[in-house]
Structure 1
Amino acid sequence: MTISTTMLLIIIGCCLVTLIPRIVPFIIVKRFELPTIVRKWLGYIPICILTALVVQGLWTIEAGYKLVVDWRYLLALIPTTIAAIWTRSLALTVIVGVLAMALLRLWLPALGG
């Protein structure tokens, strides 16, 4: 398979556009001491990410603009939220959420979609 120079430059450009906003903040934060209130505020990021990821799958709209809840997502949200608040760890929050959803899909396949 051959790749044109233009395509290679597009791929490199996409990598830079994706990596720069994700790496530069870590470099900046590493060199400075953040105030306590900022560090405390950053501790809530796992909960915010959890909310954004779960809410999009929790509610769906069926024909006729009927709002429907996927009960498996709602049930998985309970242990995941507890893990997020208790540990404040994004990794553990995601692991608990994935395991909860996997078990619910295994045991309750017909519930909610």
Structure 2
Amino acid sequence: MGNAEIWMMIVGVSIVSILPRILPVAFFSRFTFPEVLKEWLSYIAPAVLAALTALSVLVPQGVIDFSLKNHYLWAFIPTIIVAVKTRSLFFTLLTGISVMAIIYNFFIF
């Protein structure tokens, strides 16, 4: 594969990736939406994030795991508490990473 082919592939993938993001914004920016719809749409991003988080925590191996051996569940509990209390991304990440490191290095279950 030549250098020109690689650049064509990079440009093509970039266009295919950016068009679905730009076209809706360009099209819908001309309209004014009702407040009810704006409020309803504001819940989509947190709902998607919650679904992805729940999937990562509760289904780490492809099977729902509520057991005591689920490391992700144990790390999630103190991490979510710190996130709610501090509302700080830094302290939340620090807690999650620290708890996972402690679990992997000191606990065998």
1:23: Cα distance to partner?
1.4
1:1-113 map, 5 Å: 4-59=3-58, 60-61=60-61, 67=65, 68=70, 70=72, 71-78=74-81, 80=83, 82=84, 96=89, 99-106=91-98, 109-111=101-103
- Does the aligned pair in 2 maintain the 1:54–1:77 contact within 8 Å? no
Letter of the structure 2 residue corresponding to residue 102 of structure 1:
L
TM-score w.r.t. structure 2 length? Answer: 0.64
Higher RCO, 1 or 2 (CA under 8 Å, sep at least 6)? 1
1:48: Cα distance to partner?
1.6
1:69: Cα distance to partner?
5.4
1:107: Cα distance to partner?
5.5
Letter of the structure 2 residue corresponding to residue 77 of structure 1:
I
Structure 2 unaligned runs (5+)?
Answer: none
Identical aligned residues as a percent: 20
Structure 1 unaligned runs (5+)?
Answer: 84-92
